[in-house]
Chains A and B, each alone.
Chain A
Amino acid sequence: QSVLTQPPSASGTPGQTVTISCSGSSSNIGTNSVNWYQQLPGAAPKLLIFTNNQRPSGVPDRFSGSRSGTSASLAISGLQSEDEADYYCAAWDDSLNCGVFGGGTKLTVL
């Protein structure tokens, strides 16, 4: 059972906008920054969003993040087939004194 809760799956058709949610608590998302990662099969994770809504250089602006209270979300607009991957949210937890990841969301592009 992950400390951060994500839906196990999401799907959309090319061009659509998909949103992935991440629910936490006051000790993690409610207090600390949320980061999002994309992982393709057999590859290391790739940082997509840091500090809730910042994109590293090279990440398309189709990807956006937001945080409100103890929840966060990742939106992917103009969905493309190459976006098919696993997505993870992450944050620091002040009560556990450790980093925590969501369980991951498998995105399927139909």
Chain B
Amino acid sequence: EVQLLESGGGLVQSGGSLRLSCVTSGFTLSTFAMSWVRQAPGKGLEWVAVISRNGGTTYYADSVRGRFTISRDMSKSTVFLQMNSLRADDTATYFCAKDQTPGADNYGSGSYYYWGQGILVTVSS
């Protein structure tokens, strides 16, 4: 059974840093691209970042490029989102999502069947 479990969220001051973790199980991380998607309170979904299945390619939304870094640790079956220089508008629930298509290179297929439960990040100004 595929499971994605996020952790590392919480309250942080503007300008601070947080690292989110997404522990995965039930599949081989090297076979699928992995993404982060966020949702500000009462707002819509916003795509954040993706890491390719081989870990060699990453892409970011303009709103986080240069501040956020997506990475993974194969030995821990974990995907990370390092968030630096946090701003109030980064306040959101962050979801980890697994690409649907095994073996898809680059950004994957861009469709996500499995999602984590979400973790709340609150940035105070």
Q: Across the interface, do B60 and A88 meet the contact criterion of CB distance under 8 Å?
A: no
Cα A33 to Cα B95 with chains together (Å): 21
B24 within 8 A of A: no
Cα A90 to Cα B110 with chains together (Å): 8
Choice from A51, A88, A98 contacting B59 with Cβ under 8 Å: A98
Cα A73 to Cα B82 with chains together (Å): 35
Residue numbers in B under 8 Å from A47 (CB-CB): 100, 111-113
A18 within 8 A of B: no
Q: Across the interface, do B110 and A35 meet the contact criterion of CB distance under 8 Å?
A: yes
Choice from A2, A45, A99, A103 contacting B110 with Cβ under 8 Å: A99
Supposing A39-B45, A101-B46 touch, asked if A56 and B117 sit within 8 A by C-beta, the answer is no
Cα A74 to Cα B116 with chains together (Å): 24
Q: Across the interface, do B118 and A101 meet the contact criterion of CB distance under 8 Å?
A: no
Cα A98 to Cα B45 with chains together (Å): 14
B2 within 8 A of A: no
A85 within 8 A of B: no
Chain A, residue nearest B113 (CB): A47
Chain A, residue nearest B46 (CB): A101
Point out residues on A near B: beta carbons under 8 Å: 2, 32-33, 35, 37, 39, 44-47, 50-51, 56, 86, 88, 90-92, 96-104
